[in-house]
Structure 1
Amino acid sequence: MKGKRITAIGVVAATCLNISASLACSRITWLGPDGQVVTGRSMDWPYPFNARFYIIPRGTQNDGAGGTNSLRWASKYGTAVVAGTTDPSGPVDATFDGMNEKGLGANLLYLDEADFGPAPTDDRPRISVGAWVQYVLSSFASVGEAVAAIGEQSVYIVPAKFGPGKTHSTVVHLALSDSSGDSAVIEFLNGKPVIHHGREFQVMTNSPTYDEQLTLNNYWKGLDGSKFLPGSYRSEDRFVRASYYLSQLPQTKDERKAVAGVMSVIRNVSVPWGKVDPEHPNLSPTYWRTAFDHSRMIYYFESTLSANSVWLDLKKVNFGPTSGIRTVALEGNYNIQGSVNTAFKPAKNINYLTP
């Protein structure tokens, strides 16, 4: 299912006049020679996450924390996820990012317009929005499989409150990518999934909705990006810059250059550390960045507060049902660097954010 692109310049002008500030995140997927696929993202937020890598093996029993009719399921695929807390003083309660053993990756980003709709009156199973990434990655092997299931709306995503005092709404959208180079951007608007599915949907930021982002970006494609690009950290400007710089990355076969190229674009669209803007209080600094090398099954993590990057080689991970859930701290653990495959310690499963 592919979203329709609106091309009228009048719509572009109207969108530009109705910009809403939002918590900033960005995501790109690079498609290279010999089937190489690398996805990078930034995570921007007003406070720390206590972010951690979790390895969750096949066969794990998951509770979606959806309240009434909460979905309980066994993991079909092993997953490696970045999880953290949605409340700086609370426990780890959400997955924001991850890749499974089949090479499917998921990135959760903020979207102010998101609307999952009212709670269903039937007995449809439910999952907390905090469990959405883990549910998708542990249940599906490809973007196509996930898109088909989400389009059926067989599971209701509960928009739980989060943050200090649970005063904020969980308004998010989901980007998927896999080792074939397939991508999807999934937004819930007015309670219905709007899905943009195809290799061409390589960039995602935040508001406005994806249809409108594509409209704005089409306008900028008619200009010479080497001479002029929008430079602010607003979502629509980051979308344009990410799209342009992604198109300029070389088609290299070198793994290091491929990942470095993706991360260079993500750094370009990151929000400066400590940035405070009284006129746009919801725009927040970049806390961390990740990259999935889908082709080589390596998951990279980079904290803004650390000079060291770390990575997890999923090819060397035991995802067997008896291997157990394991975790390693990423934020605040600034002495680790390089491969973290041997740094994991046994852990309990995540207690996801509840309604």
Structure 2
Amino acid sequence: MFKLNKIAAITIAAASIAAMTGAANACSRITLDTPHGVSTVRSLDWGDQLGNVAQVNPVGIKNVSETPSYKSAMSWTTKYHAIAQMEWDVFGGVASDAINSEGLGASLLYMYDSAVFIKDYKDTGAPALSFLDVIRYITETYATTEEAVNAFNNNEWQIAWADGLHGAQHGLHISIHDKSGDIALLQLNEGGKMVVHRGDVKSDLRVMANSPLQQDHRAYVAKANLNDLEAKSIPSSISSLDRNLRGLFNTKHVTFKEDASWAQTRGKLLSTYNTGNLVPQDLIDPVNGETYATWTQFVYNHDNGDFLFTNYDTREQIGYNFNDTVDFTQTMCADTVLQASQGLNRAVFSPCKAQ
């Protein structure tokens, strides 16, 4: 199922990630309410082509996060059945997105502007989580956004900033979003201070992009007229600032029909997302002069469990339903890129092979 063993994957990942700086200003996420329940669309954009493995983590699995720079490393036993989207080809085993049986989802996106503040972040003494594991931990431990945020604010868990990704420090940020539409955005700010922004699917947190930090996105968006349907002040570049603004504009005006099927609603979600946030190949980001593209994308429903994966290198798609995995008693995997390329339209899960 997997092309690389764990050591090779991590070695390549470390080199690839270390080489990327401004080019990493990519990826987007939108979370919206629909007549079929709260739903999320998320893409992974990068300078190199990305893979994707859907990993089912059933209740009772014991886990440990490796965080050598911190006094205490997090260990946990999976409380809620969850499915994580794992990226091995470039990032060497990062869980980029996940959702659990309670409808709680979490997303990990790049945040270049936070990297400079890592040196000022102080170990809080809480059990620390590697960026490889933090999305899995959140969705396997908590039932709601409120529960996860309260635990964070009570110093029950922290992010292992100093350990970075495979030895290279990078800025990242986390969205936590549940089936009620409650959203939290966790970011590292000046002075090493963690800031938790709170909102819901009606707030600007319904859209998530990359740099700059949320307060700077808000200042940029304030200059545009999001009510002007002629879109005279809506910019077109692939920069994170512009993708975030376009995402807010498009999601502000989308209307979902009450009598539309879930398939129709999902199609409208994707067209809304793709118009504002999908990144075509070969375009240049005016902020950093780099090129990157959307390679993988998924849309999932927090209520009915539907999940659809798209590989934008080939435009092949494959799906599954969360509820079809709830009887699994061991960790199971499906390489969605590989299986889609084989012509499958429904993912087939089997025991995960050693990395």
The residue aligned with 2:333 is 327
The residue aligned with 1:83 is 86
The residue aligned with 1:52 is 53
Indicate the SS of the match to 1:339.
coil
The residue aligned with 2:17 is none
Provide, for residues 120-170 of structure 1, a one-character-per-residue CA deviation record: whole Å limited to 9, x for no partner.
56753221111110010011011111111222333231233447xx5x433
The residue aligned with 1:238 is 243
The residue aligned with 1:256 is 263
The yes-or-no answer on 1:32 pairing with 2:34 is yes
* Deviation larger for 45-54 or 103-112: 45-54
Equivalent residue letter for 2:346: S
- Show the 5 A alignment for 1:5-24: 22-24=24-26
CA distance in 2, matches of 1:281, 1:76: 44
* Deviation larger for 248-257 or 137-146: 248-257
Higher RCO structure, 1 or 2 (CA under 8 Å, sep 6+)? 1
Structure 1's unaligned 5+ residue stretches are 1-19, 351-355
- Show the 5 A alignment for 1:1-355: 22-33=24-35, 36-67=37-68, 68=70, 69-85=72-88, 88=90, 92-114=92-114, 115-116=117-118, 120=122, 123-159=125-161, 160-162=163-165, 168-189=168-189, 190-199=191-200, 200=203, 201-221=205-225, 224-228=228-232, 229-253=234-258, 254-268=261-275, 269-275=277-283, 280-318=288-326, 323-333=329-339, 334-340=341-347, 343-347=348-352
Indicate the SS of the match to 2:113.
coil
TM-score scaled by length of structure 1: 0.82
Indicate the SS of the match to 2:313.
coil
TM-score scaled by length of structure 2: 0.82
Equivalent residue letter for 1:221: N
* Deviation larger for 301-310 or 104-113: 301-310
Percent of residue pairs identical: 23
Instruction: Give the structure with the larger helix fraction.
Output: 2
The residue aligned with 2:10 is none
CA distance in 2, matches of 1:121, 1:215: 31
CA distance in 1, matches of 2:192, 2:156: 13
Measured on the aligned residues, the alpha-carbon RMSD in Å equals: 2.5
Indicate the SS of the match to 1:198.
strand
Displacement of 1:218 after TM fit? 2.7
Indicate the SS of the match to 1:231.
coil
Indicate the SS of the match to 2:245.
helix
Decide whether the 8 Å contact of 2:52 with 2:86 is kept in 1.
yes
Provide, for residues 292-342 of structure 1, a one-character-per-residue CA deviation record: whole Å limited to 9, x for no partner.
21121222211102333222211221256xx100101123441244322xx
CA distance in 2, matches of 1:291, 1:243: 18
Tell me how many residue pairs correspond in the alignment.
Answer: 320
Decide whether the 8 Å contact of 1:42 with 1:290 is kept in 2.
yes
